[in-house]
Amino acid sequence: MPIPTSKPFQKQTAKDKAYQQIKEWIVNGTLMPDEKLAEVELAKSIAVSRTPIREALLRLNEEGLVVITAGKITRVAQIDADNIADLFEPMAVIEGLAANQAASKIDEAEFKKLATLEKKYRVSLNSNKLINILKADRIFHQQILAIADNAYETKFSDQLYSHIYRYELAMIKMLDADHQNFKITANHEALLKALAEQNPVKASATMTKDWLSTLQKIVSIQELTESQK
């Protein structure tokens, strides 16, 4: 018998299906901030019963994308644009740590893969769709987290990112009409170099700076649009 190549078939449960779907709807704006989330309605829409919907909502509540209060109506969490730093600052230090650890333990194969992703990222910079850039950027970061190989860090980063991505998508939608070409791009070459040199301190500092400068860019865009009112 040939050894099965794929992992032991992971069943896609109704709960997971509901979770992914609702999360996507919230992140991409289909479900608007503060919108009411009735379990029966969602159940009908996703074609499962209330139970998996409920379990998905509880998880999203944990992650802060949904607000469940006592026995009251469940709502989509608001986007706290005022406190966007609350997302970026922990992100900066956690992925800074991940970069540090990755630099300490990265091997040849991992570095090659990372370099490929960096190249893809640079290619994406020529795209006129900002979303493509954001996605390529995220994949690059996720690879660093994978190399660091710390489940807590990875989960925390993913969680923060879903909020950040949601915010960025909302911002793009809002601004795209006016500013065709505002960029939230990063310079990954310095980071890649620090990892090549296996220099943890430099890798960490570069990663942290990357996130904080992105935060700065976003804040300045906020101020710009704020002043335009």
Residues found near DNA in the complex (CB under 7 A): 13-15, 36-41, 48-52, 54-55, 68, 70-74
- 143 is a site residue for a copy of itself (CB under 8 A): no
- State the Cα angle at 145 between 140 and 151, rounded to 5°: 150
Shortest distance, position 22 Cβ to a copy of itself, whole Å: 15
Residue 175 found at the interface with a copy of itself (CB under 8 A): no
Pairing verdict, β 75-76 and 66-67: antiparallel
Nearest approach, Cβ of residue 71 and DNA (Å): 4
Q: Which does 125 bind (CB under 5 to 8 A by kind): a copy of itself, DNA, none?
A: none
Query: CB of residue 68 vs a copy of itself: minimum separation in angstroms?
Result: 10
Minimal distance, residue 18 CB to DNA, in Å:
8
Helices (H), the chain: 14-27, 39-46, 50-63, 85-105, 108-124, 130-148, 151-175, 189-196, 200-227
| CA distance linking residue 184 with residue 134, whole number of Å | 8
Amino acid at 98: A
Rounded to an integer, what distance in angstroms lies between the CA atom of residue 192 and that of residue 183?
21
User: Site residues (CB under 8 A) for a copy of itself?
Assistant: 10-11, 13, 54-55, 58-59, 62, 64, 70-71, 86-87, 89-90, 93-94, 96-97, 101, 150-153, 156, 159-160
